Amino acid sequence: MFGPVVNGLETKVTNRSIELATRHVLLLTQVAFFTSLLWCYILYHGPKLQLDGISFFGVFHRTLPIIFIGYLIAMMGLWRTGEYLRSAGIGAFVWTGLRVVGLSLMVLLATPFNHGAFFNWAHMTTGVVGALVQLGITVLLVNTRRTLRSVSGFVLQLAGGILSAASLPDWHFTYLFTGEVLYQLGFAWCLIEWTYTLRARDLSGAPQLVTNAEANDFPPTPA
């Protein structure tokens, strides 16, 4: 008679452990990623950066090793996060999408946009696909956990996406780097919010919609 209760407690403990582990992985790897961006920006922040975006760091000899390390750490963090979310029962689109985004970072470095038309189109296609997958993951989060924090992260990501898209055509509107950084900040914010959805799962592992008011009922959790 106590079997379901015991199983339920085990599920809660497991999800709680995964929640904390996932959040720690994301915080460490995303901080490392944005630190590498900041380091690259300190080394070069000329006008070409706003024109070419983050991709410029992948073709500039002084910043290439740094951005490579940052991308590699980010990829490992996204892959590990996907494994954690998969084990917690999160939908396949999310954890598969995180793998796609992680791998796309390496593909972006392997296709320097300034090495001819083929590499340029391959680079742009990879970037667009990765960005759309990121947006899809965020939309799923907002549908699952509609709180002030998740919506704020989504708005930040969306604003960065609009700014980036407006900078791509030859409209003499060169804020691609700023838009891409905002987009990635919003996505990182939303990824961390995904970890809190594990608290809102029932004993069968099914996700439950959490509103902002309901989210406030949860006790604060140390990062």
Query: Which residues constitute the domain of residue 134?
Result: 3-215
65: in domain: yes
223: in domain: no
220: in domain: no
Q: 10 Å Cβ neighbour count for 118?
A: 9
Question: For the chain, what is the domain count?
Answer: 1
pTM over 0.95: no
| Contact of 223 with 23, CB cutoff 8 Å | yes
pLDDT in tens, the chain (223 residues): 434 433 443 445 466 788 899 999 999 999 999 999 999 999 999 999 999 999 999 999 999 999 999 999 999 999 999 999 998 888 899 999 999 999 999 999 999 999 999 999 999 999 999 999 999 999 999 998 888 999 999 999 999 999 999 998 777 889 999 999 999 999 999 999 988 887 655 434 444 444 554 454 444 444 4
Q: Which residue has 């309901």 as its token pair?
A: 214
143: in domain: yes
Tokens of 86: 């998969």
Report the candidate in 110, 133, 139, 134 with the shortest Cα–Cα distance to residue 122. 110
Write down the pLDDT at residue 14. Answer: 65
206: in domain: yes
